[in-house]
């Protein structure tokens, strides 16, 4: 069993190293180690899909989670990236909310990979992209599940460390009062050993306030900054509760929205959080062994 785990860990690490143009970050934040493999290691890839989101989480138990799949035209790139990362099937496929820059490539991913479960918030949306995803889900014989705050998707022990994937939002009782589609974003916290990641989709400050007034455990080493670094997310109070060492922003070079907004960047800097941005750093890969987190970046062009 230990041999199999070691082999899986090695394969996952090798898969990560196949990425073209990987380079070590010259400097890493305090308490964050340099790159390197470890037994039970796992990888979190924040893909450079321009003004959109797509995050691959290779869990240390060998399961894969894909959070969002970029815009429609990003489908083939994401499929190729997953193949090059050694992904053969997806256990948890999450569309945080029905906007095209999050669910655009989900139908392509569904057509190319066996998928165990698909999660999207319980909000319908009348666009071609959304209907394409629903059709692809049906064609796979699957159903869309809508997770609720407090739901634990996965709880396991790997290499003697606890692994957990927990949903923090939407809370079905509270989300009814939110009109913005962004505020229906599925928010997930992934923790392994001492390390944790918080993925916030495009949720805005109202959701952050709702989370702050809930009993949700928000602390995370790495925060995927909400809504591409828009000033409408990532309040000071939220940052003080999450206390991340690293913030990662997914935004397109020279995008029309001015994301990430200057005010958001200033709040991150003021809170002494190291910032990685897909528009500047390309794809960002975190390696985590449950004790330390290493960061690598890879430009694709
Ligand atoms: Zn978005």
pLDDT above 70 for 9: no
Q: Kindly state the percentage of the chain with pLDDT values over 70.
A: 86
- Residues, CB-to-ion distance under 5 Å, ligand 1: 101, 202
Rounded to the nearest whole angstrom, what is the distance from the C-alpha of residue 30 to the centroid of ligand 1?
Answer: 30
Please, are residues 280 and 257 in contact by the beta-carbon 8 Å criterion? no
- Rounded Cα distance between 291 and 288, Å, is 7
- Rounded Cα distance between 85 and 185, Å, is 26
Largest CA distance in the chain: 51
For residue 28, give the 3-state DSSP assignment: coil
Mean pLDDT of the chain: 88
Rounded to the nearest whole angstrom, what is the distance from the C-alpha of residue 21 to the centroid of ligand 1?
Answer: 27
Dump pLDDT digits (tens) for 124-168.
899 999 999 999 999 999 999 999 999 999 999 999 999 999 999
- Rounded Cα distance between 233 and 207, Å, is 9
- What global pTM score does this model have? 0.87
- Cα separation values, 175 from 121, 170, 210, 228, Å: 10, 6, 9, 21
φ/ψ of 130, rounded to 5, equals -65, -45
Structure tokens at 258: 């001015």
- Rounded Cα distance between 109 and 80, Å, is 10
Residue 8: CB atoms within 10 Å = 17
For residue 126, give the 3-state DSSP assignment: coil
Dump pLDDT digits (tens) for 167-226.
999 999 999 999 999 999 999 999 999 999 999 999 999 999 999 999 899 999 999 999
Dump pLDDT digits (tens) for 80-123.
999 999 999 999 999 999 999 999 999 999 999 999 999 999 99
Residue 159: CB atoms within 10 Å = 19
pLDDT at 280: 97
Annotated domain spans of the chain:
2-298
pLDDT above 50 for 28: no
Rounded to the nearest whole angstrom, what is the distance from the C-alpha of residue 18 to the centroid of ligand 1?
Answer: 28
Rounded to the nearest whole angstrom, what is the distance from the C-alpha of residue 244 to the centroid of ligand 1?
Answer: 21
- Rounded Cα distance between 16 and 285, Å, is 8
pLDDT above 60 for 19: no
Describe the strand order of the beta sheet including 293-298 as a list of residue ranges.
22-24, 293-298, 283-288, 42-46, 55-58, 64-67, 90-94, 115-119, 144-145
- Cα separation values, 77 from 90, 106, 191, 205, Å: 16, 12, 27, 32
Rounded to the nearest whole angstrom, what is the distance from the C-alpha of residue 119 to the centroid of ligand 1?
Answer: 17
Rounded to the nearest whole angstrom, what is the distance from the C-alpha of residue 53 to the centroid of ligand 1?
Answer: 6
pLDDT above 90 for 16: no
Please, are residues 223 and 242 in contact by the beta-carbon 8 Å criterion? yes
Rounded to the nearest whole angstrom, what is the distance from the C-alpha of residue 256 to the centroid of ligand 1?
Answer: 13
Contacts of 58 (CB under 8 A, 6+ apart): 12, 15, 16, 42, 43, 44, 45, 64, 85, 87
Alpha helices in 53-171 (DSSP H): 75-84, 100-103, 106-112, 128-139
Q: Residue 157, preceding bond cis, omega within 30 degrees? A: no
Q: What is the DSSP letter of 33?
A: P
pLDDT above 90 for 21: no
pLDDT above 80 for 255: yes
Counting Cα atoms < 13 Å in the Cβ hemisphere of 122 gives 13
pLDDT at 35: 30
Rounded to the nearest whole angstrom, what is the distance from the C-alpha of residue 103 to the centroid of ligand 1?
Answer: 9
pLDDT above 50 for 13: no
Closest CA to 53 of 292, 284, 267: 284
Closest CA to 207 of 259, 171, 153, 166: 171
Please, are residues 208 and 237 in contact by the beta-carbon 8 Å criterion? yes
Rounded to the nearest whole angstrom, what is the distance from the C-alpha of residue 207 to the centroid of ligand 1?
Answer: 15
pLDDT at 298: 83
pLDDT at 42: 78
Instruction: Tell me which of 3.40.50.300, 3.60.15.10, 3.40.50.150, 3.90.1010.10 is the CATH number of domain 2-298.
Output: 3.60.15.10
Closest CA to 113 of 140, 85, 147: 140
Rounded to the nearest whole angstrom, what is the distance from the C-alpha of residue 96 to the centroid of ligand 1?
Answer: 9
Rounded to the nearest whole angstrom, what is the distance from the C-alpha of residue 101 to the centroid of ligand 1?
Answer: 5
């Amino acid at each position: 069993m230990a041999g199999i785990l070691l082999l899986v860990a090695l394969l996952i690490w090798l898969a990560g190293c196949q990425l073209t143009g990987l380079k070590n970050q010259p400097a890493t934040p305090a308490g964050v180690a340099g790159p390197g493999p470890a037994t039970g290691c796992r990888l979190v890839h924040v893909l450079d899909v321009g003004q959109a989101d797509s995050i691959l989480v290779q869990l240390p138990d060998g399961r894969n989670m894909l959070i969002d799949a970029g815009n429609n035209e990003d489908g083939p790139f994401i499929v190729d990236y997953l193949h090059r990362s050694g992904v053969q099937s997806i256990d948890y496929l999450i569309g945080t909310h029905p906007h095209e820059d999050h669910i655009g490539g989900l139908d392509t991913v569904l057509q190319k990979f066996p998928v165990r479960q698909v999660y999207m918030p319980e909000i319908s949306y009348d666009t071609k992209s959304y209907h394409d995803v629903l059709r692809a889900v049906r064609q796979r014989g699957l159903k869309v599940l809508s997770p609720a705050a407090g739901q634990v998707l996965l709880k396991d022990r790997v290499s003697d460390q606890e692994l957990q994937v927990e949903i923090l939002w939407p809370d079905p009782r509270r989300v009814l009062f939110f009109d913005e589609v962004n505020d229906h974003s599925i928010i997930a916290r992934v923790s392994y050993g001492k390390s944790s990641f918080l993925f916030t989709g495009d949720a805005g400050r109202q959701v952050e306030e709702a989370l702050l007034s809930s009993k949700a455990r928000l602390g995370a080493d790495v925060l995927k900054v909400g809504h591409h670094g828009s000033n409408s997310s990532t309040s000071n109070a939220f940052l003080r509760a999450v206390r991340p060492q690293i913030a990662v922003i997914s935004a397109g070079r020279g995008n029309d929205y001015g994301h990430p907004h200057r005010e958001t960047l200033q709040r991150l800097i003021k809170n002494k959080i190291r910032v990685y941005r897909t528009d500047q750093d390309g794809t960002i890969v975190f390696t985590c062994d449950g004790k330390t987190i290493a960061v690598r970046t890879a430009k694709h062009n």
